[in-house]
Amino acid sequence: MGRFIVRRLLGMIAVLFAISVIVFLIFNVIPNSDPAARIAGKNADPALIARVSADLGLDKPLPIQYLTMMKQIFTGQLMSYAKDRNVVQQIWDGVPATFSLCIG
């Protein structure tokens, strides 16, 4: 029984890792989803986009970007670039509404 639980927990970690990688990659594959271009505005020149890119660390290779994202998730520092707010805080803000919908 103990071995079974350990095996399942290891499997859970592997699944969570795979999910995080897929979520990370989806936003690199979806077209027109470059956050730097979005923050820089409609008629931004390439230099501004490049600067925003560098600020967000989007000019680094993908594995480094992934590690940065995971570090920020585990330290609770992940910021939403669309709303410029802390993601953990946003999730907590949404919990009461989700919970009340779940229990009907």
Partner 1 sequence: MVATVGEMEAPGEPPLPAGVPKSQIQGRSPWYLAWLRLRRNKVALFCAGVFVLIVLFCLAAPLWAEHVAHTGPNENHITEKVLIDGQPTNVVGPDGTPIGPGLHGQYLLGADQNGRDVMVRLMYGGRTSIYIGLAAAAVTTVLSVIVALLAGYYRGWIDSVLSRIMDVIWAFPVLLLGIALGTALAVGGLKIGPLAIAGDSIWIPIMIIGFVYVPYMARPIRGEILALREKEFIEAAVAQGKGPLRIMFSELLPNIISTIIVFFTLNIANNMLLESALSFLGAGVRPPNASWGTMIADGYEMIYTAPHLTIVPGLMIIATVLSLNVFGDGLRDALDPRAKIRLEH
Nearest Cα residue to 60 out of 28, 99, 23: 28
Strands (E) located in the chain: 79-80, 85-86
- How far is Cα of residue 39 from the mean position of the Cα atoms in its chain? 16
Among 23-31, 42-50, 63-71, 94-102, which window interacts with partner 1 (CB under 8 A)? 23-31
* Phi, psi (rounded to 5 degrees) for 86: -70, 130
Q: Which of 6, 9, 22, 91 binds partner 1 (CB under 8 A)?
A: 22
Determine, following the binding rule CB under 8 A, whether residue 11 of this chain makes contact with partner 1.
Answer: yes
Q: Which of 6, 14, 64, 91 binds partner 1 (CB under 8 A)?
A: 14
Among 16-24, 66-74, 76-84, 90-98, which window interacts with partner 1 (CB under 8 A)? 16-24
Within 30-86, residue ranges assigned H as helices are 35-40, 46-56, 62-74
Closest distance of CB 42 from partner 1, Å:
21
Q: Which of 26, 64, 67, 73 binds partner 1 (CB under 8 A)?
A: 26
